């Protein structure tokens, strides 16, 4: 496990349309760690995910985001992704006309170039890589020829996101409410895919509203986000406490 944080967020303040959402969030994630970020609706969870990836709608008004020791606030979303920051969206966007396979190949070659590999991945090697990961996620191989997220079910979209993560091999993966809209079977398959990919070379920030996802993906750390700040951190038992008692006791604890 890395001694220094791979992703370090310092005193982050973010506004959307002039309205402050994050109000001094501090968090550090190392490779090999799984962090769960939980909080009530409107606490700023998805705002954090978008700010980390450089969505221009989310204005960072104060604070720093360091990735592998580099301040990435001046980098575009594309530049951050090529360096190894990955975001699995809560609501993935459909891209008609672009097949999943072509999207993956283009993204992978850009990532390889960033890592010093000038040559594109050979077609045979790419097919073997993709089909192997698709088997893990119980996806039919014909899926690769479909337009990205176009007509996909909720479960198919989430599997496609995890497939992207598997192929691109990021160093930090931010999973924004990956459990949203999934039935229990799809949730289990997606979780098994995430678990198969986690290890010493990947740090995961798992953003979720409910504890049920954490029955399948076991975090090392759980953080509670309320009103734009991390107000409590602990181990996996904290998620169980939130499931049993909700978030009101944390609000009351803050007031007291």
Q: Which domains does the chain have, with CATH numbers?
A: 7-255 (3.40.50.300)
The pLDDT assigned to 103 comes to: 96
The pLDDT assigned to 252 comes to: 67
185 pLDDT higher than 90: no
256 pLDDT higher than 70: no
Average pLDDT over residues 29-44: 93
Average pLDDT over residues 116-145: 93
Question: In the β-sheet with 7-16, what is the strand arrangement from edge to edge?
Answer: 19-29, 7-16, 58-67, 70-71
Cβ-proximal residues to 93 (8 Å cutoff; 6+ apart), any chain: 149
What one-character-per-residue DSSP string does 31-53 give? TT-EEEEE--TTSSHHHHHHHHT
Do the Cβ atoms of 212 and 195 come closer than 8 Å?
A: no
Cα separation of the two ends of the chain? 37
User: Which of 1-5, 89-93, 190-194 shows the highest mean pLDDT?
Assistant: 190-194
Q: H-helix or E-strand containing 229?
A: strand 229-234
What pLDDT, in 10s, does the model give residues 192-249? Answer: 989 988 889 999 999 998 788 898 999 999 999 999 999 999 999 998 888 888 887 7
* Position with higher pLDDT, 179 vs 69: 69
Do the Cβ atoms of 9 and 28 come closer than 8 Å?
A: yes
How many C-alpha atoms does 156 have within 13 Å on its Cβ side?
17
* Position with higher pLDDT, 14 vs 117: 14
1 pLDDT higher than 50: no
Please state, in angstroms and rounded to a whole number, the distance separating the CA atoms of residues 21 and 35.
21
Mean pLDDT of the chain: 91
What one-character-per-residue DSSP string does 105-160 give? HHHHHHHHHHTT--SPPPHHHHHHHHHHHHHHTT--GGGGGSEETTT--HHHHHHH
Do the Cβ atoms of 85 and 204 come closer than 8 Å?
A: no
The pLDDT assigned to 254 comes to: 61
178 pLDDT higher than 70: yes
């Amino acid at each position: 496990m890395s001694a220094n944080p791979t992703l370090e967020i310092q005193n982050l303040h973010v506004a959307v349309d002039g309205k402050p959402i994050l109000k001094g969030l501090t968090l550090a994630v190392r490779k090999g760690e799984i962090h769960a970020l939980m909080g009530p609706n409107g606490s700023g969870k998805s705002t954090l995910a978008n700010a980390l990836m450089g969505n221009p709608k989310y204005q960072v008004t104060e604070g720093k985001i360091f990735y592998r020791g580099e301040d990435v606030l001046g980098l575009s979303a594309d530049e951050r992704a090529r360096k190894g920051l990955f975001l699995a969206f809560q609501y993935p966007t459909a891209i008609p006309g672009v097949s999943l396979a072509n999207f993956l190949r283009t993204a992978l070659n850009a990532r390889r170039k960033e890592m010093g590999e000038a040559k594109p991945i050979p077609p045979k090697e790419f097919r073997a890589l993709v089909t192997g990961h698709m088997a893990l996620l119980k996806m039919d191989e014909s899926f690769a020829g479909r337009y990205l997220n176009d007509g996909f079910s909720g479960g198919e979209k989430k599997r496609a996101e995890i497939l992207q993560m598997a192929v691109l091999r990021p160093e930090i993966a931010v999973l924004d409410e990956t459990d949203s809209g999934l039935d229990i079977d799809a949730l289990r398959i997606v979780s098994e895919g995430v678990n198969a990919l986690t290890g010493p070379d990947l740090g995961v920030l798992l953003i979720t509203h409910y504890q049920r996802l954490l029955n399948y993906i076991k975090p090392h750390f759980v953080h509670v986000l309320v009103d734009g700040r991390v107000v409590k951190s602990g181990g996996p038992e904290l998620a169980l406490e939130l499931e049993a008692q909700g978030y009101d006791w944390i609000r009351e604890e803050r007031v007291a």
